[in-house]
Structure 1
Amino acid sequence: MSEQKQGKTFQVNKTYAEINARIKAGEAVVVTADEMVDIVRQEGPVEAARRVDVVTTGTFSVMCSSGMFFNFGQSNPTIKGQKVWVNKVAAYAGLAAVDAYIGATEPTENDPLNQVYPGEFRYGGGHVIEDLVAGKKVLLEVKAYPTDCYANTKMHKEVTLADLPYALLCNPRNGYQNYNCAVNLSDRIVYTYMGTLKPNCRNANYCSAGQISPLLNDPLYRTIGIGTRIFLGGGVGYVTFQGTQHNPAAPRGENGVPIRPAGTMMVQGDLKKMSPEWLRGVSLQGYGCSLAVGLGVPIPILNEEMAQFTGVSDEEIFTHIVDYGYDYTNGVARNYGKVSYAQLRSEEIEVAGKKVPTAPLSSLSKARKIAETLKEWIQQGKFHLGEPVDYFPSADFSFDKPEPQE
């Protein structure tokens, strides 16, 4: 069967309904993105599309744009929260009476370590989320002004996740589609969200799962959109919109994969069904607190184009080298070269003629475990595909156009 779509005639055409029916019947062929690389190499995209129904992806990394909406329940007499803290971490309470949002990067107040070393925080919103998911008790403190319908002015109690009437992990920007390779060309050490960078380009940090990363397997957002069902924090979540800083106009290579930071996803899911294995509070030296998030997206192989996309390898995915010692903070756009993820994973790259050791901020082993877990869920009929109700803004990209010049 063929279909004319986006100016192309596809030899293979499947629908979400057909793939979900195969999942329900236990007949769907599901492979990880790592496995799909070899299948496409050996059989080509058309045969791969005929053979494979779903490709699973994964990533586990620090995702600063993360947080939790929660309802902490009413008191007697009733209260309208004005200021809220959880384990001394401030939450935003400008919502309804007992609703609040706590962000992963919000640090605990009055951390004594920060008084000595600015930017040093041992505990923050990401740790609160991990503690709650782990079943630990946290201290909830609420202050309020009195009104006729909300007379109480204080609340102080220990709660667990089970005690909260509602807890929603809601992350405005996750799963970045490619990201910079960070170096430091200055003569001083710098502390960044990309980790500690030694002076005079003595190390290079990167942060992507490469060929197994979700948005790198759907570079033009053909299948990932509003309503896509995903693995999130060890449970089931959904893509609810394009993420903040979504930039489909970023320059792309010949395979459609961006060579600079591009697409992002807004995601959310029921925190009460998640696991501390996949939501870990972190503290980055000299930068602050955050949350490491486990995220996986199934990619339906609707046609050979999607097979080609999901067959992309680390050798074919490139990113730019960016100086965080001066250029990044001062808005200077200088080009220090491109490197592939295969080169980055070799643990050494060359920058300005100098051999530089590399290190990832994302966990490839955990990304692979997420892809394998999602594969098992689908094979067991526990997880079906969510067809998007709408799609992200995409790039005006053609495979016939040359790579953009910068």
Structure 2
Amino acid sequence: MAKKKVSKTIDDINRKIKEGKVVVVTADEMVGIVKKNGAEKAAQEVDVVTTGTFSPMCSSGAFINFGHTKPGIKASRTWLNDVPAYAGLAAVDCYMGATEPREDDPLNGVHPGQFKYGGGHVLHDLIAGKKVELRATSYGTDCYPETQVKKKITLSDLPYAMMLNPRNAYQNYNCAINLTKKTIYTYMGILKPNGGNANYATAGELSPLFNDPYYRTIGLGTRIFLGGAKGHVIAPGTQHNPNAERHENGIPLTPSGTLMVSGDMKEMDPRWVVGVSMLGYGCSLAVGLGIPIPILDAEMAEYTGVSD
């Protein structure tokens, strides 16, 4: 008599979590389990596979509300530690983008630029509990007469600080080489001339979207690890391309899926949200992002058995 194939639901796995009976393994451990026992038996034994990545993710930032002043201000320009934040929102709302450089940064005026401090560094400093200088200016209105504000703030002073990253966790990405005769400076790092090196960016077998290549268990509302705190997937990320050409195991051959994610900065850990300076290119933010993959059946076990 043929054995019944494994078929679980999210509710089944959540119930095992509450009962303390859930079996959780890491993505690299799952590779060995599937290789040794096969996908069907692995699906019987394992309930959840944890995945993760920690890498510069330029399309990141945070919505910040810095609180109403007395008298009130309708901020039209805002800076945090001299890094401009987009202020074309409501009175005291702004968005700090990870790649925004400090206003007085020489950029690539002296090439290659060092980009020592930018939006990603501001976000790290806030999460680390450091004081940050807020400046805001306004043209003044009858209901918001104040025209300038300057004060020191910490994350705990802010009524609202929500990380919202438009594009994180790329499912696959390019490998970069340089075939010219001079060194070039890129978002993929420094590339030596004449094919002297090759730079790539992936967490390999640990990568969240490599372990669920067709997004069976990852979608709107999926709870994730983001910057050391609980976060959520809130939409497909910008440049999301689920129709990319794929290998027979589901792994895309070109840049493909991305996630838009969000989480409360006040719950985050500065170890997992780190400002980055890329020589000759710009500022960014290294983001720690992890997703638990429920093993619903043998197909999901096989997907999470992907290896480097």
TM-score by structure 1 length? 0.74
Partner residue, 2:53: 59
Partner residue, 1:190: 184
1:216 aligns with 2:214: no
Paired with 2:197 and 2:141, the residues of 1 have a C-alpha distance of: 57
Partner residue, 2:198: 204
Partner residue, 1:103: 97
Letter in 1 for 2:297: N
1:245-266 C-alpha deviation (Å, 9 max, x unpaired): 0011111101011011110000
Partner residue, 1:399: none
Partner residue, 1:86: 80
Percent identical among aligned pairs is 65
Paired with 2:252 and 2:112, the residues of 1 have a C-alpha distance of: 35
Partner residue, 1:176: 170
5 Å matches for 1:162-173? 162-173=156-167
Q: Kindly state the Cα deviation for residue 214 of structure 1 after the two structures are TM-superposed.
A: 0.2
Q: Kindly state the Cα deviation for residue 22 of structure 1 after the two structures are TM-superposed.
A: 0.6
Matching residue within 6, 14, 31 for 1:12: 6
Q: Kindly state the Cα deviation for residue 113 of structure 1 after the two structures are TM-superposed.
A: 6.4
Partner residue, 2:65: 71
Q: Kindly state the Cα deviation for residue 211 of structure 1 after the two structures are TM-superposed.
A: 0.5
Matching residue within 29, 39, 46 for 2:33: 39
TM-score by structure 2 length? 0.97
Paired with 2:297 and 2:177, the residues of 1 have a C-alpha distance of: 39
Paired with 2:32 and 2:55, the residues of 1 have a C-alpha distance of: 25
Letter in 1 for 2:180: S
5 Å matches for 1:297-308? 297-308=291-302
The 8 Å contact of residues 79 and 134 in structure 2, kept in 1 or not, is answered as yes
Matching residue within 245, 248, 258 for 1:264: 258
Paired with 2:110 and 2:36, the residues of 1 have a C-alpha distance of: 58
The 8 Å contact of residues 112 and 279 in structure 2, kept in 1 or not, is answered as no
Q: Kindly state the Cα deviation for residue 114 of structure 1 after the two structures are TM-superposed.
A: 4.5
Give the match's secondary structure for 1:36: helix
1:266-322 C-alpha deviation (Å, 9 max, x unpaired): 0000000001100000100000000000000000001111001000111xxxxxxxx
Q: Kindly state the Cα deviation for residue 105 of structure 1 after the two structures are TM-superposed.
A: 0.2
Paired with 1:102 and 1:301, the residues of 2 have a C-alpha distance of: 37
Partner residue, 1:148: 142
Q: Kindly state the Cα deviation for residue 115 of structure 1 after the two structures are TM-superposed.
A: 3.7
Q: Kindly state the Cα deviation for residue 191 of structure 1 after the two structures are TM-superposed.
A: 0.5
- Provide the aligned length of Structure 1 versus Structure 2: 305
Partner residue, 1:310: 304
Q: 1:247 to 1:113 in 2, by over 3 A?
A: closer
Q: Kindly state the Cα deviation for residue 117 of structure 1 after the two structures are TM-superposed.
A: 2.8
Paired with 1:191 and 1:240, the residues of 2 have a C-alpha distance of: 33
Q: Kindly state the Cα deviation for residue 180 of structure 1 after the two structures are TM-superposed.
A: 1.1
Partner residue, 2:115: 121
Give the match's secondary structure for 1:226: coil
Matching residue within 112, 122, 139 for 2:133: 139
Paired with 1:113 and 1:252, the residues of 2 have a C-alpha distance of: 39
**Stretches of structure 1 lacking an aligned partner (at least 5 in a row):** 1-9, 315-406
Q: 1:210 to 1:46 in 2, by over 3 A?
A: same
Give the match's secondary structure for 1:188: coil
Could you say what the CA RMSD is over the residues aligned between the two structures, in angstroms?
1.1
Q: Kindly state the Cα deviation for residue 112 of structure 1 after the two structures are TM-superposed.
A: 4.2
Letter in 1 for 2:39: P
Paired with 2:185 and 2:216, the residues of 1 have a C-alpha distance of: 37
Letter in 1 for 2:275: G
Q: Kindly state the Cα deviation for residue 120 of structure 1 after the two structures are TM-superposed.
A: 3.2
Matching residue within 227, 244, 247 for 1:233: 227
Runs of 4+ in 1 over 3 A off after TM superposition: 112-115
Q: Kindly state the Cα deviation for residue 118 of structure 1 after the two structures are TM-superposed.
A: 5.9
